[in-house]
Structure 1
Amino acid sequence: MQDNVALDPENRALYAEILRTPAGYDLDAAVATTYTLDFETALVVPATLAFHAAENRQETLDTPLALLEGLERLSARIAIFCEAGRIKATPKGANSLTALLEDTVTEVAAPRGGAFHPKLWLLRFAPIGGRGQSRLRLALLSRNLTTDASWDLSLSLDGRIADTRHDQNAPLVDLIAALPGLAAGRPAPDHVTKMVASLAEDLACAEWEHPEHVRKIGFAVNGLTDRVWRPQVGRKLGVISPFVTDRALKTLYRGVAPDDACLLSRAEELALLEPETLSRFGNLLVLDEMAETEDGEEGEQTSLGPVPARGLHAKAFITERYSSTEITMGSGNATSPALLGGENVEVFATLSGYSEDLGTVEDQMSPERLGRFLRTYVPYTPDDTEKEDAAEKRLEQFRRVLAGTSLTLRCEERENSQILLHLSAEAEVVIPEGISLRLWPIVAGTDHGVDVISLNEQERPLARLPLRDVTRWIGVRLRDGESGLEQDFTLGAALADLPEARTSEILRALIENRGAFLRYIRLLLGDVSEAAKALFAAGQGGDLSGVFGTGQESPILEDMVRALSGDGRQLRDIERLVSRLRDPNTDRCEVIPEEFLQLWETFRAVMPEDNRHD
């Protein structure tokens, strides 16, 4: 038994660690892919990247100014690609800052008709001051960009950009380069397309630092071409997969004796397999129920909040070949769409090393390692869900139709800064008989929605909203009349005739008083870590006086003087903020103290002209 086998559950990596910027570097660009997405998690990511003080998800969500500044600083450097129709809905209404994610999130579709299923992060960090070489980080995950608290696996690799291309990276380069071309409906913004192309070029020349005892790392991608990759056959096999199909498993265990084959999956999936398939695995395991619920101890702290591990979501294929062990992890399940037909877009990484170092299949599943969270599968007869399965299939088919439809929301300005949203579709959408469709603006919530009986090129009113609540995101509820089954999700639309003042309206809603304004100014000017900690303390009801002082003007003045002698970035941020908060008709703003405005005009007069926003 090895002291540190590769899949040792004690080797834990928090999401925040994967995204943490190395000392002496700034985030330059980042691309993420995910199957499903929720907006709150997407909002937390820029704040986590911008402020190392962001310890967990809920703390950050409770601090809207930190969310705002994270988005302002980094949203243009982050691109997230997710499966069209798989953004989670928020029936009670989403955070208004969701509007600032409109150019960050691009919905895509798998080119071969399956699911867009890869989960990865590719980050580029630039040295502060511009001296030195940029760094790359690659993270391959089994986790989506959501609050799902399942058992997952991740691989994080740091690397440098070499002078020559490395064939090892070619599959990943093809995936990253293809992303903008997979856009469904609304195309990826131009700046995203350029950033992704730049990252793909650097990725081609990446040299990765190998984890301990790993002799070779290989990458593979399915779903972009007719070529389909799957793990190599070995003399021993271990499969960890929450979803399984008979055909895929039969391909994987070919030539492996039952006593040398182990399968860990969900009980409800194993119950659907053919007896012959089950008989080919001498060891059938499921996650122990005690490991799927809270056990009285505090849940693991992650950048996405304190959560207990629930359910199995990890995917891994372990094979022993000669004296070596190969561990493949990534997004793909042991299913036909992932491993046989190549319909799904999937990404994999295979780590190779000597079995005495990486551990054998038996080592990974031993009672001292993963085995202590597992139990032997006990066969049972599953409930008859034929009716529910048929209803889900009907809704899924219509979901795909909607996800592939180009929708447009046109804004019409009305009195009192109200916007009337008009919805239309590029082509007629036929709503199947027995399925009802309800749509709503995602920030307003389902109570502001409408039941739709036809969707086509003809515009129809969707809702009347304050400008600050207008986004391109539309909440969708499908309901199957026969079974009562419902599905909620979010779709993106093209947003036409949007007034330029929307971002200003969102800022005015968040910075509702002078105290909030001064805290935000301090965040723009001060040490990022300390200012962020203060903001998070305020978000939790803490006292700010110890950080900001009882009189705000003096420390702000000192920081403004320091900013003036620097590169001017911080003063540009203040100029942007003040211009947005001012009323365009009166040029005044109640939340900005008059004393600060007078001080600001003094600084503005001596700022370099290229820093001003006249």
Structure 2
Amino acid sequence: MLSPDSRAVAMDLLKPPPGYRIDRTVLTTYSLDLEVLLALPLAVLAQTDAGVEQLLLDPLMLLEAIREAGERIQIFVDEAGIAVPANGRALYGALESSVHPVKAPNGGVFHPKVWVARFVHDNEPPLIRVSVASRNLTFDRSWDIALTSEATPGKKTIAASKPLSDLLRRLPGLGDETLEDAVIADIQHLADEVQRTAFPAPEGFDSGLGFYVLGLGKQRAHWSPVEQATRILAIAPFLSDKALQKIARLASNESLLVSRADQLSQLETDLANDWSVVQVLSPTADVEAEDESRLRPSGLHAKLMVFEWGHRATWFIGSANLTDAAFTGRNVELMASASGPKGRPGGKGIGINLFMESGFQSLCEDYQPAEYAPEEESAQEAATKLKQAREALLGAELRVSCRPAEDDWQMAVQGGIALPQGVTLTAWPLSLEGHQAKEWQDGVSWYLPIARLTAFIAFSIAVDGHDERLDLAIKLPVEGMPEERIHHVLRTLIDSPERFMQFLRALLGGLEEIAGLIGDSSGQTWNFAGGQGLRGEPLLEDMLRAASRDPQRLLPVRRLIADLRQSEEGRKIVPDDLYVVWQVVDSVLNDMEAQ
């Protein structure tokens, strides 16, 4: 179980085992916070334990980490799941190649939370790690649950792993975006290896992991995790009457339900008829966010079902709530399962009693029914209009177009949106702050420097006469985006010779050494004329070594230096004596490219 203050979980799930390095990973999530994603490449690939907030203080190092990680991390998120960040950042543009909005084929939401990572070792076969969780890629302060397993691919197909493999194969086709051939090939290769991997269950279970994917085929009457059980424990934040009844009826003896009071109070069914025990989290278990300036979801968010029969128990962990949308396949969901001996009090096992007595029971209290107070009619109408406007926005064929203007670039968002009457829509690029939003009138445009161009557009939907609003960010197709845009993002962050040398150090040392630069306040300066500065070794020697071993690493340097040397200001950042050193390295790169 993941407590609300487990901030490092995402980083831990992707940290390589000793001696390994991360090769590629695929992440799926219902909702996505881009600030989390900014920190993830550096925290994982550089293997630093610095906090997210600290990592965000050094965007230069982040950008280089993102550059190196871009081909290794692919995130698939529900088309409406990208949250509007608190701050506008040009750096968000560097994430676009890794973020892929997708849709649920049956009209629900794309809801799985599974991470699949491939680690490689110079002298060992690859290692595949899978993490199935209820936590999204966000800063949520909720009680969640995660299950992690890793193993080496074999030669034979593992039937229990095939559903997870099938999900990976389907991901590139679930969105409107056309992914690069190399990205698709990497995902397919990862799917092939997953299909040949037998993932072991955690300690206490004696089965391997099995996977269940809902929502990729036709909708079904109702998914039943098991045929029958004597006892059931079901934990989920969101509920529906029909799904609850069907799950409860699988138990011949006792059924326990843990959910949220606000969800329980809205049910029409009589819970006492179906569930022996109904509980909610105690108020003392709800940890308040440290950052009161930004509201973060909290409370119960874990999704878990435990079924007992005889002396055994089977667990199901993943993304599915106890709702019809999840269990009939309207949503895309993924659940992992494992079985083992349920055990006896005071002993070992994976049964319901042992789980509750291990600490979870102390977080819960009996649910006290309260009369549900439905929203006033005007509030219901406003909520309906917000939903209609959201669907119209997601269904509109919007595009971003970029074209050079006199001093800057004109970036326009164009397309028709059939908004309900009485609804106001505003939009702004995520590279800008929200106060620079403009009201939608058959399109909207801004004049921006090249570094601020982006495919991520924020939208805010408001209903006239009501305070409620709905904010979401969408990654839109782009026409005319200049190829050098990310290079200009980089240039805005390198404004001194010292920062340029930091950038070189990151490139030459690799991500494993970037972590040491975080929070470096030594104020060290660099002696360009001597060609020194990188760990006391000659700068020329370091760059020549990089050119011979990994020439791709120095290509950003070539582009950046060429751009900087075109202006007087840039020549102060890359002075003549450093440029002489670079010309030697550049000639080596040219010779290698000619071979």
Normalised TM-score (structure 1): 0.87
Aligned CA RMSD, in angstroms, stands at 3.0
Q: Helix, strand or coil for the counterpart of 2:421?
A: coil
Give, as a single letter, the amino acid of the residue that structure 2 aligns with 1:349.
A
**Contact 1:507/1:581, CA 8 A, preserved across alignment:** no
Does the alignment pair 1:248 with 2:243? yes
Give, as a single letter, the amino acid of the residue that structure 2 aligns with 1:351.
A
Q: Which residue of structure 1 lines up, in the alignment, with residue 99 of structure 2?
A: 105
Offset from partner CA, 1:409-459 (integer Å, 9 cap, x none): 11120122x11112222xx421111211111122123333321243xxxxx
Q: Helix, strand or coil for the counterpart of 1:236?
A: strand
Distance change >3 Å, CA 479–CA 527, structure 1 → 2 = closer
Give, as a single letter, the amino acid of the residue that structure 2 aligns with 1:263.
L
Structure 1 distance, partners of 2:527, 2:156, is 50
Q: Which residue of structure 2 lines up, in the alignment, with residue 119 of structure 1?
A: 113
**Contact 2:31/2:83, CA 8 A, preserved across alignment:** yes
Offset from partner CA, 1:365-408 (integer Å, 9 cap, x none): 22x51011111111112333244344223312321232233321
- Which of 500, 514, 525 lines up with 2:483 in the alignment? 500
Structure 1 distance, partners of 2:538, 2:203, is 48
Q: Which residue of structure 1 lines up, in the alignment, with residue 74 of structure 2?
A: 79
Does the alignment pair 1:52 with 2:47? yes
Give, as a single letter, the amino acid of the residue that structure 2 aligns with 1:452.
W
TM-superposed CA distance for 1:467, in Å, is 0.7
Greater Cα shift, 379-388 or 577-586:
577-586
Distance change >3 Å, CA 546–CA 320, structure 1 → 2 = farther
Does the alignment pair 1:179 with 2:171? yes
Structure 2 distance, partners of 1:558, 1:524, is 15
Q: Helix, strand or coil for the counterpart of 1:62?
A: coil
Greater Cα shift, 163-172 or 188-197:
188-197
**Contact 1:19/1:48, CA 8 A, preserved across alignment:** no
Structure 1 distance, partners of 2:21, 2:125, is 12
**Contact 2:60/2:490, CA 8 A, preserved across alignment:** no
Structure 1 distance, partners of 2:273, 2:335, is 27
Q: Which residue of structure 2 lines up, in the alignment, with residue 221 of structure 1?
A: 213
Give, as a single letter, the amino acid of the residue that structure 1 aligns with 2:298.
R
Which blocks of at least 5 consecutive residues in structure 2 are unaligned? none
**Contact 1:437/1:452, CA 8 A, preserved across alignment:** yes
Q: Which residue of structure 2 lines up, in the alignment, with residue 343 of structure 1?
A: 330
**Contact 2:143/2:302, CA 8 A, preserved across alignment:** yes
Give, as a single letter, the amino acid of the residue that structure 1 aligns with 2:312.
S
Does the alignment pair 1:441 with 2:432? no
Distance change >3 Å, CA 279–CA 451, structure 1 → 2 = same
- Which of 230, 240, 243 lines up with 2:224 in the alignment? 230
Structure 1 distance, partners of 2:318, 2:579, is 53
Q: Helix, strand or coil for the counterpart of 1:180?
A: helix
Give, as a single letter, the amino acid of the residue that structure 1 aligns with 2:162.
A
Give, as a single letter, the amino acid of the residue that structure 2 aligns with 1:326.
T
Does the alignment pair 1:485 with 2:468? yes
Does the alignment pair 1:369 with 2:359? yes
Distance change >3 Å, CA 479–CA 88, structure 1 → 2 = same
TM-superposed CA distance for 1:475, in Å, is 0.9
Number of residue pairs aligned between Structure 1 and Structure 2: 579
Structure 1 distance, partners of 2:508, 2:590, is 18
Structure 2 distance, partners of 1:263, 1:132, is 45
Q: Helix, strand or coil for the counterpart of 1:171?
A: helix
- Which of 495, 503, 515 lines up with 1:532 in the alignment? 515
Q: Which residue of structure 1 lines up, in the alignment, with residue 447 of structure 2?
A: 464
Q: Which residue of structure 2 lines up, in the alignment, with residue 457 of structure 1?
A: none
Structure 2 distance, partners of 1:553, 1:440, is 45
Q: Which residue of structure 2 lines up, in the alignment, with residue 543 of structure 1?
A: 522
**Contact 1:246/1:277, CA 8 A, preserved across alignment:** no
**Contact 2:215/2:332, CA 8 A, preserved across alignment:** yes
Structure 1 distance, partners of 2:494, 2:2, is 46
Q: Helix, strand or coil for the counterpart of 2:534?
A: helix
Distance change >3 Å, CA 419–CA 527, structure 1 → 2 = closer
Offset from partner CA, 1:213-243 (integer Å, 9 cap, x none): 2222211010011255332131101011001
Does the alignment pair 1:165 with 2:157? yes
Offset from partner CA, 1:14-65 (integer Å, 9 cap, x none): 2221110122222221111111111111111111222111432111111112
Q: Helix, strand or coil for the counterpart of 1:553?
A: coil
Q: Helix, strand or coil for the counterpart of 2:66?
A: helix
TM-superposed CA distance for 1:181, in Å, is 1.0
Structure 1 distance, partners of 2:430, 2:4, is 40
Does the alignment pair 1:25 with 2:20? yes
Distance change >3 Å, CA 569–CA 386, structure 1 → 2 = farther
**Contact 2:531/2:538, CA 8 A, preserved across alignment:** no
Which blocks of at least 5 consecutive residues in structure 1 are unaligned? 1-6, 300-306, 455-459
**Contact 2:564/2:573, CA 8 A, preserved across alignment:** no
Structure 2 distance, partners of 1:315, 1:149, is 15
Give, as a single letter, the amino acid of the residue that structure 1 aligns with 2:485.
R
Structure 2 distance, partners of 1:16, 1:215, is 28
Q: Which residue of structure 2 lines up, in the alignment, with residue 303 of structure 1?
A: none
Does the alignment pair 1:194 with 2:185? yes
Q: Which residue of structure 2 lines up, in the alignment, with residue 272 of structure 1?
A: 266
Distance change >3 Å, CA 585–CA 41, structure 1 → 2 = same
Distance change >3 Å, CA 483–CA 473, structure 1 → 2 = same
Distance change >3 Å, CA 312–CA 389, structure 1 → 2 = farther
Distance change >3 Å, CA 294–CA 608, structure 1 → 2 = same
Aligned 1:370-385 pairs, distance under 5 A: 370-385=360-375
Q: Helix, strand or coil for the counterpart of 1:27?
A: strand
TM-superposed CA distance for 1:488, in Å, is 0.7
Normalised TM-score (structure 2): 0.90
Structure 2 distance, partners of 1:570, 1:609, is 14
Give, as a single letter, the amino acid of the residue that structure 1 aligns with 2:200.
E
Give, as a single letter, the amino acid of the residue that structure 2 aligns with 1:315.
K
**Contact 1:54/1:60, CA 8 A, preserved across alignment:** no
Q: Which residue of structure 2 lines up, in the alignment, with residue 568 of structure 1?
A: 548
Distance change >3 Å, CA 124–CA 314, structure 1 → 2 = same
Structure 2 distance, partners of 1:63, 1:548, is 23
**Contact 1:31/1:121, CA 8 A, preserved across alignment:** yes
**Contact 2:565/2:574, CA 8 A, preserved across alignment:** no
Distance change >3 Å, CA 9–CA 407, structure 1 → 2 = closer
Q: Which residue of structure 1 lines up, in the alignment, with residue 316 of structure 2?
A: 328
Aligned identity (percent) is 27
Offset from partner CA, 1:521-563 (integer Å, 9 cap, x none): 1222236444422x2113xxx32549999x9824364465256
Q: Which residue of structure 2 lines up, in the alignment, with residue 209 of structure 1?
A: 200
Structure 2 distance, partners of 1:562, 1:585, is 22
TM-superposed CA distance for 1:512, in Å, is 1.4
- Which of 585, 590, 595 lines up with 1:603 in the alignment? 585
Q: Helix, strand or coil for the counterpart of 1:358?
A: coil
**Contact 1:315/1:330, CA 8 A, preserved across alignment:** yes
Q: Which residue of structure 2 lines up, in the alignment, with residue 14 of structure 1?
A: 9
Give, as a single letter, the amino acid of the residue that structure 2 aligns with 1:583.
D
Q: Helix, strand or coil for the counterpart of 2:167?
A: helix
Q: Which residue of structure 1 lines up, in the alignment, with residue 126 of structure 2?
A: 134
Q: Which residue of structure 2 lines up, in the alignment, with residue 304 of structure 1?
A: none
**Contact 1:526/1:559, CA 8 A, preserved across alignment:** no
Distance change >3 Å, CA 187–CA 530, structure 1 → 2 = closer
Distance change >3 Å, CA 408–CA 275, structure 1 → 2 = closer
**Contact 1:421/1:463, CA 8 A, preserved across alignment:** yes
Offset from partner CA, 1:76-121 (integer Å, 9 cap, x none): 221111111221113x642211111112111111000111100111
Distance change >3 Å, CA 237–CA 389, structure 1 → 2 = farther
